[in-house]
Amino acid sequence: MIKNQFRQTGKKTDHDFGPSWKGNLLAFGFLILTVLGYFYWQSDQAEKSFVKRVSDHSRMLAGMFRLSAENSVTSQLALEKTVQDFLSGSAQFIDYLDSIEPFSGNELDAFAKEANLAGISVIRHGMGTVSGPSGWSSIATCQAEDTPFFYLSEQSLYVLNKTLSSASGCIIIGFDSSGTEKLSMKIGLDRFLMQINKLPLIRYARLDKSMISNSDGAPKVILIRERNNNIAETTMPFESGTLIVGIDANRYVHTINQMQREFIAISIILALMGLFFSWLLFRHQKISFRRSQDFERKLAQQNEEAALGRATATISHEIKNPLNAIGMGLQRLRFETELDDEYKKLVDSMEKALLRTSAIVTNLKKHSQPINLQYDSVSLCNLVNATLDLYQKQCQQNKIILSSKCNFRGTVQADEALLGQVMENLFKNSFEAQPDGGFIEIVLTEERKFVVLKIKNKVRDVDISMLEQMFEPYYTTKIQGTGLGLSLSLRIIRAHGGNIQLNVPEKEVFQVTVTLPFEPAGR
């Protein structure tokens, strides 16, 4: 009943100490989740900051693009106005000179070369056309409108048509636009885009004229992730098309990856710390539970021994006197009466039964009484040899081979009488376990701060699962045993601070190991 109560108590205690280390794991798990949430928040903030920075840079580029476009248009108009004024002045001068004396073809050719003109044609209605250089007249025709100015893209020419003031006809002047086209390219949008492409962190910049919007919208940023080529692409609509700018995003991606690596490292560290501290807490709680279990076991054992002691005292008091009376009566029958052989055998059997009963009561009384140690310096080697001498003759008769090896010649502080009782119980068990002969091997050694006594003997069949029960009171495998020898021996050895262990090291070999503490000399 006490053991069942202890098992129930142990289960309850095990159930109680479990949540502590589990709670520690939950706490570290919550901490890891918190770090995870912080990482995602940091990633979101970094992405928003990066997108805002890209948008600001894109807006700045859009403003520069718009300003460049306006400057390009203004410069183009100013250039064309300059060319028109130049051609208009040249046409008026030619008209003036022609009104004084008409030009010849060679004179117009020389004038065109001097004035850097592509060609000059004077068309007089009814009088023909004079041009210079030759072949110029093939592209020259009078226009109905006075002094029209236009551009011929196929011939790369600016052309001015002026009506003659002195006669019916017109003057047509051409100017080569190749030089102005180079200037237009230098101040145009294409040149601006080329310069933008040369800026650091700008991967590409282009104007998509197929995507035309009527209004300027906010820049749209798309992150394009590729291996070692991460780009933040921004699209900005204009009236003339959509400006597309790709900005290097490798640094941003590297920052996010670095944050991810740091998060993984922190999570692993927290997980390992959580497991380590939870293991420490679990181990500490397990040790505390075992201590509590040992304390409860000792308390239950003490209660059991106290109850057994009270019962033993009562039984001894009530049984001893009748046993003594029966013994005295049997002795009177033996010595004072004439008994035949049959009754003598009956009296002998009754005396033997009486002695066994008296021995059981005596052992029970010894087992239940508290152990009071009388310490003295005891030589275990001498104690072992003395016990062997008692069983030497019996072992020879039963064909049991005795062997002993004492590697410890020192002494221990112990109760010699109680240790002698333990040695006798253990040797007696080894002797009685081999009725058909065998061996008893005794080895006494020193291991650190303990003296170790090992007793081996031959045994037929031993159930290993029943070894622990052999220390329980009244458990015995012998027909006439009381089951108190090993239990009492264990109590005596534990009272000295030692322990007894039973095991089967090999087949048909039984071993008893007794350990006793001692202080080595010189320490």
Of 28-42, 146-160, 185-199, 399-413, highest mean pLDDT: 399-413
Please state the rounded mean pLDDT for residues 213-236. Answer: 73
The runs of H, that is alpha helices, within 369-502 are 380-397, 416-432, 485-495
In terms of pLDDT, which residue wins out, 77 or 365? 77
Is the per-residue pLDDT at 4 higher than 70?
no
Q: What are the CA-CA distances from residue 294 to residues 248, 302, 308, 440 (Å)? A: 70, 12, 20, 34
**What is the token pair recorded at 205?**
């910049």
In terms of pLDDT, which residue wins out, 192 or 477? 192
In terms of pLDDT, which residue wins out, 453 or 59? 453
Domains in the chain with CATH codes: 20-182 (no CATH), 199-251 (no CATH), 373-517 (3.30.565.10)
Please state the rounded mean pLDDT for residues 283-299. Answer: 85
* CA 447 distance to own-chain centroid: 42
Pairwise CA distance, residues 141 & 159, whole Å = 11
Least confident residue range of 235-244, 424-433, 468-477: 468-477
What is the pLDDT confidence band of residue 335, given thresholds at 50, 70 and 90?
confident
% of the chain with per-residue pLDDT over 70: 78
Phi and psi of 123, rounded to 5°?
Answer: -110, 120
Is the per-residue pLDDT at 280 higher than 80?
yes
pLDDT at 444: 92
Please state the rounded mean pLDDT for residues 320-330. Answer: 76
Is the per-residue pLDDT at 136 higher than 60?
yes
What is the pLDDT confidence band of residue 236, given thresholds at 50, 70 and 90?
confident
Pairing of strands 400-406, 438-447: parallel
CA angle 371, 372, 375 (to 5 degrees): 125
Of 20-24, 276-280, 463-467, 497-501, highest mean pLDDT: 497-501
- Quote the mean pLDDT of the chain: 77
Please state the rounded mean pLDDT for residues 212-240. Answer: 72
**What is the token pair recorded at 329?**
């009566």
In terms of pLDDT, which residue wins out, 144 or 86? 86
What is the pLDDT confidence band of residue 181, given thresholds at 50, 70 and 90?
low
Phi and psi of 406, rounded to 5°?
Answer: -105, 105
Which residues fall within 8 angstroms of residue 415, CB to CB, at 6 or more apart?
373, 374, 375, 376, 378, 492, 496
What is the pLDDT confidence band of residue 454, given thresholds at 50, 70 and 90?
very high
pLDDT at 182: 67
pLDDT tens digits, residue range 310-324? 776 777 767 777 777
Q: In this structure, are residues 165 and 122 in contact, taking their beta carbons and an 8 Å threshold?
A: no
189-197 vs 178-187: helix crossing angle, rounded to 10: 50
pLDDT at 5: 42
pTM of the model: 0.42
pLDDT at 465: 63
pLDDT tens digits, residue range 367-408? 666 677 888 888 888 888 888 888 888 888 888 888 889 888
What is the pLDDT confidence band of residue 137, given thresholds at 50, 70 and 90?
low
- Tell me which amino acid residue 458 is: K
CB atoms within 10 A of CB 129: 18
Q: What are the CA-CA distances from residue 157 to residues 109, 110, 163, 180, 181 (Å)? A: 17, 19, 19, 10, 10
Pairwise CA distance, residues 175 & 163, whole Å = 18
Is the per-residue pLDDT at 488 higher than 70?
yes
pLDDT tens digits, residue range 41-72? 877 787 777 777 777 776 776 676 666 666 66
pLDDT at 329: 79
pLDDT at 364: 65
**Burial class for 308, CB neighbours closer than 10 Å (0-12, 13-18, 19+):** middle
